[in-house]
Structure 1
């Protein structure tokens, strides 16, 4: 099931807007230090769409600087990856002594386990930065931590957009779950536990996605696999 949360700065008193938005980002992403030249009357709008353990958030906000320091990482690290797609405006990420700029043709990958200095928009202009963010736990990605480190230093192409990435992630999670369901050593493991292991906390969502991908619900697939009759049940 898709759940949605919406934040609009105009719903909050001007003096509280920046702090409220900062608290929201800390919950969504990881502990951050934020600052803005516009904090006295900050304007922002953010929708959060939760898809199991993955969340997508279209956002619009006045220029901000985000800092993820070693101290903040030691305090709390959700071990996640954040992908940002700028739609209007530029992100400038500083990692060590290297700065990389990301525009609407590129994706910026952020690892919550690594320090970061990220600037969104022109701090001296009130023009809002518009973009889309995607939060994914590292455990759901078919990437080693070394590979993630290398990708954070690159400007990734936005040609396929988030739709292709989400579809790929969903397929990989379902494949892991399918293999566990067919594994005789895990026959006693409840289906809901296998689903939750691979990022499907809601049983109904898992059943719907699994049936769409493989042509039968998880319970039937597990039963058929115990009799060696899963051939032809999966879909390309």
Structure 2
């Protein structure tokens, strides 16, 4: 959910605004047309908050100004700014002539991104491009969601949230890898994120191996293993976890209840049904078929 701020405005007497929102699993998006405001995220609001999120704002008209971590910056039309809900910050908007500022907001919980705060911190100090590259892809997806809300059903919401999560992670990884205002030690983390983004788009590839991953990133297999060991992981273990999680999601999806379990397993790179069943039981304490039956029963009677 969006983080809370203390608001002030010079237009209190005739405050007129437009707000469209969409909740997408753990993510949320919003389109706002609002008179010039000043929003402050205070230490008190931070202490009262239950969730920790990254809040991204895209300037669509006017100008967005912000201050956090002692740094001021401005985002023009087509640029994203990133806020950490656990850090005090302020945000203000400037109209375009007589036309109210327009912005798009996106919030993603830190927990689903899996990035440590120190890695993301450099991205809080400057605007990120939202009209090209991965930032442009994120802009396009958010815009379509807000423009065509009736095109998506309730079952689509968590899937769209995962798409947004992956795009945000990919944008962060790209910007970190590009070396925007970065200390040298963050480049290794950026490489890990880039590798993970690469893997996540190829989980259904049966030929996805440490060798193919290393070759695609022009590093040795040994170095790839060392990168993952820094986080206490193995390459194969992390890939297996990601595949299992997506298979688990599909098993719980009412729209796929008639799809054979073996088909879902193969979709996510498991070539042998027995191997998938054993791995699933180890991870979740139940068989794939029992998990599917339980999920659908809860969805019907919960």
- Same fold, judged at TM 0.5 (above): yes
Larger relative strand fraction: 1
Determine if contact 2:265/2:273 at 8 Å carries over to the other structure.
no
Q: TM-score, normalization: structure 2? A: 0.50
Show the counterpart of 1:227.
Answer: 274
Residues 220 and 104 (structure 1), Cα distance of their counterparts in 2 relative to 1, 3 Å cut? closer
Between the aligned partners of 1:109 and 1:32, the Cα distance in structure 2 is 15
Higher helix share: 2
Q: Which runs of 4+ in 1 moved over 4 A?
A: 169-178, 205-208, 218-226
The 1-side partners of 2:66 and 2:28 are apart by: 22
**Equivalent residues in 2 for 1:3-42 (5 A)?**
28-42=1-15
Of 154, 161, 166, the residue aligned with 2:164 is: 166
- 1:11-160 pair list within 5 angstroms: 28-122=1-95, 127-158=99-130, 159=132, 160=135
Provide the rounded CA distance (Å) in 1 between the counterparts of 2:32 and 2:71. 26
The higher relative CO (CA closer than 8 Å, separation ≥ 6) is in: 1
- TM-score using structure 1 length: 0.63
| Structure 2: distance between partners of 1:36 and 1:52 | 32
The answer to whether 1:217 aligns with 2:278 is: no
Point out the more displaced range, 79-88 or 221-230. 221-230
The CA distance in 2 between the partners of 1:97 and 1:50, in whole Å, is 31
Kept after mapping to 2: 8 A contact 1:62/1:126: no
Q: What's the offset of the Cα at 1:44?
A: 0.9
Q: Equivalent residue for 2:283?
A: none
Find the aligned partners of 1:206 and 1:146 in 2 and give their Cα distance: 39
**What secondary structure sits across from 2:275 in the alignment?**
coil
Deviations along 1:162-182, one digit per CA (max 9) or x if unpaired, are 247727349859969983486
Deviations for 1:133-183, whole angstroms, at most 9, x for unmatched residues?
Answer: 111111121422112221111221112332477273498599699834866
The structure number with the bigger radius of gyration is 2
Aligned-pair distance for 1:110?
Answer: 0.8
Give the 3-state SS of the residue equivalent to 1:135 in structure 2: strand
Gaps of 5+ in 2: 142-162, 169-196, 204-236, 278-302
Q: Which SS does the other structure have where 1:217 is aligned?
A: helix
1:228 match: secondary structure: helix
User: How has the CA–CA distance of structure 1 residues 77 and 167 changed in structure 2, closer, same or farther, with 3 Å as cutoff?
Assistant: closer
- The answer for the alignment partner of 2:240 in structure 1 is 179
Total equivalences in the alignment: 185
Aligned-residue CA RMSD (Å): 4.1
